[in-house]
Amino acid sequence: MKVVILEDRYANHDPEKAIFSRLGFEVVEAGGVTGRDGILKLCRDADGITVNLAPLTADIIAGLEKCRVIARYGVGYDSVDAAACTRQGIRLVNVPDYCLEDVSDQAMALLLGCVRKTSLRDRQVRAGMWDISRKDPVYRIQGKTLGLAGYGNIARTLHRKLKGFDLARVLVFDPFVPAAAIREAGAEPVDFDTLCGESDFISCHVPLNAATRHIFNARAFSRMKPTAIFINTSRGGLVDTAALHAALRDRTINSAGLDVHEQEPVPRDYLLFQLDNVILSDHAGWYSEESQVELQTKAAQAVADVLQGRTPRNVVNRDVLTR
């Protein structure tokens, strides 16, 4: 069996190689190879592939002659054409449960940073300013309403962590989670407009697809409170950046904390660099030393499971007719 570890983003691939070597698999590390021709040169005869950022498009997948499984490092899998995998009889697997603590920590850190304006205050104090708060009010978290767009594992973990802040209400928009389950968790199921209109804090945990792209657009921001804080640790494409920029610039909403962006890495002339009421991070919410090892181990184990004839824990395209 040949397994290709596509890309070279991590410090090493010891966790994957430990699993594959025990099984006698040939392991090829791509070392940063990108582009259709480069990827196919390495992967055409691969039985399994692990991939992070390289887009695996339909034409690349069509050229995979032996592949039985592609494991995407991470929760999202929008960089891999799932339909093409299904047509080719390839299992597409992801790792949806490796960074629940880490991304929810990042969402909470961005929220607290926006609430208390810590990044802005740091810059202002360094510039010689003092007694700033009267000109730029801060409001407490207690008694406010949290809105969760999406109620998957990360959103539920964030909800658990924020319960100690004595919120008045937690609203959830997620048409794929039964209303009874949301109520049982201590939240209120609502539609999207209600979430936008009644939340003081909105944290986005929606998967990116054709239906959700730019779900947070000018209309959504116009419905929010002028004191609202918007947090996104999911996918940048869920947000219309120009609309968010306008909402922040015009104080339609109070502030935003973003770990993810429509274009990554962000451009040097990024619109949001112009604003003081936004905290930016580099799509690092997933990261901790512990989550890194967990991610690599679980992705490799999923590949090993398929190549040994077992069904892995997390299959994106369950209707696939495998090779």
Catalytic entry in 36, 264, 310, 318: 264
**pLDDT (0 to 100) of residue 131:** 87
Amino acid at 260: V
CA-to-CA separations, 194 to 81, 136, 168, 199, in angstroms, rounded: 33, 27, 16, 8
Share of the chain above pLDDT 90, in %: 89
Split at pLDDT 50, 70, 90, the class of 133 is confident
Known catalytic membership, residue 235: yes
Mean of per-residue pLDDT scores for the chain: 95
Q: Write out pLDDT tens, residues 1-47.
A: 999 999 778 889 999 999 999 999 999 999 878 899 999 999 999 99
Q: Domains of the chain, with CATH numbers?
A: 2-98+288-307 (3.40.50.720), 100-280 (3.40.50.720)
**pLDDT (0 to 100) of residue 8:** 74
- Top pLDDT among 97 and 171 is at 171
**pLDDT (0 to 100) of residue 288:** 96
Known catalytic membership, residue 245: no
Residue 261 has pLDDT above 70, yes or no: yes
Catalytic entry in 91, 156, 205, 283: 283
Split at pLDDT 50, 70, 90, the class of 76 is confident
Contact predicate 268/254, CB 8 Å = no
**pLDDT (0 to 100) of residue 227:** 97
Tell me the three state secondary structure of residue 43.
Answer: helix
Mean pLDDT over 194-212 rounds to: 96
Contact predicate 61/46, CB 8 Å = no
Split at pLDDT 50, 70, 90, the class of 132 is confident
Catalytic entry in 72, 235, 245, 261: 235
Residue 322 has pLDDT above 70, yes or no: no
Split at pLDDT 50, 70, 90, the class of 323 is low
Residue 138 has pLDDT above 80, yes or no: yes
DSSP 260: -
Q: Write out pLDDT tens, residues 103-122.
A: 999 999 999 999 999 999 99
* Residue 61 CB contacts under 8 Å (≥ 6 apart), including other chains: 67, 70, 80, 81, 84, 85, 88, 90
**pLDDT (0 to 100) of residue 84:** 96
CA 7 to chain centre: 19
Residues 134 and 200: their CA atoms lie apart, in Å, by: 20
